[in-house]
Amino acid sequence: MARIALGIEYDGSGFCGWQTQPSRCALQDAVEKALSQIAGQAVATICAGRTDAGVHASAQVVHFDCETLRPESAWIRGVNALLPDAVAVTWMRDVGTEFHARYGALERRYHYIMLDQAVRPALNRDHVGWIHQSLEIEPMRAAAVHLLGKHDFSAFRSSECQANSPVRELRQLNVERRGDYVVFELVANAFLHHMVRNIVGSLAYVGAGRRAPEWLQEVLGARDRSKAAPTIAAAGLYLTGVRYDAKFTLPQARRSVWFNVLGL
């Protein structure tokens, strides 16, 4: 029995999220169907991060166990030939059974891309968040400082979150303007359901002048989801990195043209 790890990128706008659904509309359904055809047996995957409907990834990592031996080309080019155009395997590694895509991840990295202009976007509507007010960067950076470190993030947790604990360690929270866009970068040991989108939504309140930077500290301390801003749209969210122990020698995520344009 071999354990195989794959890197996967996808445009999540046409899917109902990563996790399998009865309607078979999820990314996991498409990936497992293609893998099973190549393997000649049923394949079940475990991913690093179960992204929501409309969320994208340049660096999703999955693993699966398989009794069938196949060359690297089969797991990449063969599987890609069977996947929808919006999904692609970018690399493959034969890893030992000690590797686990979810529990072995040391940290996850997300980027959120926000367009702050008066007119809503049309061409890139499925790939950026949008707010009609101009956002000020420095107040958002000042607010972000209050969230760094190990905290109870209940105020930024979805009511549907199934995590046993609301405590997470937010290691980086960067806010930068890149031309017409504001880019948020968040790195943590793990994230709660909707945590990134709720944090970004609250930072946008600060950037738009609706709240002072110190408000984020009050929201965090309240541990009450109703105190924070509404959940921001999924379209601007990307899973862009998952870090594992160096002994697994996994490749870095492939950089998309979209990220190169923004200088990410």
Closest CA to 155 of 233, 221, 237: 221
161 token code pair: 């979150």
In whole angstroms, what is the distance from residue 189 CA to residue 175 CA? 19
- Which residues lie across from 87 on neighbouring strands? 10
85 is catalytic: no
* CA distance from start to end of the chain: 38
d(CA 190, CA 136): 28
Contacts for 261 with CB less than 8 Å, ≥ 6 apart: none
- Cβ(242)–Cβ(49) below 8 Å: yes
Q: How far apart are CA 100 and CA 109, in angstroms?
A: 17
Q: Which of 11, 52, 85, 126 is catalytic?
A: 52
What is residue 233's three-state secondary structure? coil
DSSP 47-66: ES--PPTT-EEEEEEEEEEE
The neighbour count for residue 258, using CB atoms within 10 Å, is 16
Which residues are annotated as catalytic?
52
